[in-house]
Amino acid sequence: MTDPATSILTQSLSLGGAGPRVLVKECLGVEGLTTRCGSAAFADAPSETAHSAIVDRLIAQGARIEGLVTMHELAFGVSGLNAFAGTAVNPGWPDRIPGGSSSGSAAAVAAGLCDFAVGTDTGGSVRQPACCCGVFGLKPTFGAIDRRGAVPRGSSLDVIGPFAATAAGLTQAAEMMIDGFSRETIDAPRLARVPVSADFDIDQAVDQALSGLAVPIARLPSFKEAYAAGLTLINWELASEFGQLARSNATLGSDVKSRILKALEVTPDQVAEAEAVRSRFTEEVDDALAGVDALVLPTMPCVPPTLDQTQDLTALIPLTILVRPFNLSGHPAVSLPLRTAAGLPAGLQLVARKGGEATLCALAEALADRLAPATPLEEIQ
């Protein structure tokens, strides 16, 4: 068996106490190290003079920070493929993408390299790789976790969040990472299903997970517009941060450079339109959550594409369609691992009220018996 760490770890560390073993996405600053963000453009940048706020918090909570993990370059991609820093192997399905941009964090948990891992989610970048790698991934409410020391430096979409192999592990991670987190218990989940377009095998996996539960329909009329608005805003904000880098002679991957240059074409009028959609969609989600614990829908509308299929960029287009809208609205969301009838990875996404991270973790634990089992390390090829 190939050691999965060789494609995932970019830096070994030994920081903190004797608590849970934690690996961190390399866009989160660690004192004394360069924050590479998976990019050759930052490989020779000055070392950080302080830890990022989340690393400081985890150390204060007694966690053991054992290393940094690879990611999609500049956190601006959904495949996790990275020619410079290395592409994390998807432990359960090595012929398929690990997802992006927190590919290394998801893969590390799936490979059993840590008790939990830390990633970031600007347009699905925790939930989508969690789905691809068959683990749990939580995107907290926007602003729930201090982003100081994270890249991108400024964002109205990005949130730091944990990955874990089990629902109980996710709860432990959230409790350590989120100020004011108070554990909850839910015996009878109250869910409402958002109707979306997904492949038959994905719908079948979701139906099976929800079998026997009374799950009414909750419609979000602006859902598709919210996806487009989320793209507009992520492009606008990342172009503001990295546009000059893309225009320069800095060494960037061709996919990321072309995306940033295209993002520079976003106009202030388009941003204003996107903000109007944000306001409308946020209200729709708030209204849909009235009387239920969470909304439920697939994490991804299809199984992760194979590495060979990524040559066709159209295979990557649908991967964040169902997750990105909730970055726009700022609601917390979690991806729970499912399997299709063919044994391929799928995900059940739950969305709660703002500040409802404990509710999502409690729901994950309540639904755990309906989910796919974690892939044992000895079965990883």
Task: Please compute Rg for the chain using Cα positions.
Answer: 19
Find how far residue 40's CA is from the centre of its chain: 23
**Average pLDDT for 324-329:** 98
Cβ atoms within 10 Å, residue 66: 21
**Average pLDDT for 32-51:** 96
Q: Tally the domains of the chain.
A: 1
Is-contact 176 20, C-beta < 8 A?
A: yes
pLDDT at 2 over 60: no
Give the pLDDT confidence score for residue 338 in this predicted structure.
98
For residues 53 and 74, what is the distance between their CA atoms, to the nearest angstrom?
19
Give the pLDDT confidence score for residue 270 in this predicted structure.
98
Location of structure tokens 């239920």: 292
Work out the pLDDT band at 374, boundaries 50, 70, 90: low
pLDDT at 378 over 60: no
Q: Which residues contact 63 (CB under 8 A, 6 or more apart)?
A: 16, 17, 19, 20, 21, 22, 176
Helices (H), 289-356: 325-329
Find how far residue 219's CA is from the centre of its chain: 24
Could you give phi then psi for residue 210, rounded to 5 degrees? -100, 5
For residues 371 and 230, what is the distance between their CA atoms, to the nearest angstrom?
29
Q: Which range of residues forms the domain containing residue 13? A: 5-379
For residues 286 and 294, what is the distance between their CA atoms, to the nearest angstrom?
10
Cβ atoms within 10 Å, residue 6: 9
Q: Peptide bond preceding 152: is omega within 30 degrees of 0, i.e. cis?
A: yes
Please tell me whether residue 103 adopts helix, strand or coil conformation.
helix
* Residue pLDDT, tens place only, 281-306: 999 999 999 999 999 999 999 999 99
Work out the pLDDT band at 379, boundaries 50, 70, 90: very low
**Average pLDDT for 177-194:** 97
User: Any idea how long the chain is?
Assistant: 381
Q: Which residues contact 52 (CB under 8 A, 6 or more apart)?
A: 28, 29, 30, 148, 149, 150
For residues 171 and 381, what is the distance between their CA atoms, to the nearest angstrom?
28
Q: Which residues contact 8 (CB under 8 A, 6 or more apart)?
A: 23, 69, 70, 88, 89, 104, 107, 108, 111, 113
Q: Which residues are catalytic?
A: 25, 101, 125
Helices (H), 113-222: 127-133, 167-177, 200-209
| 241, two tokens | 């941060």
Q: Give pTM, 2 decimals.
A: 0.96
Q: Which residues contact 224 (CB under 8 A, 6 or more apart)?
A: none
pLDDT at 310 over 80: yes
pLDDT at 380 over 80: no
Give the residue among 368, 320, 369 at the shortest CA–CA distance from 127.
320
Max Cα–Cα distance, the chain, nearest Å: 58
Give percent above pLDDT 90 in the chain: 92
Domain CATH for 12: 3.90.1300.10
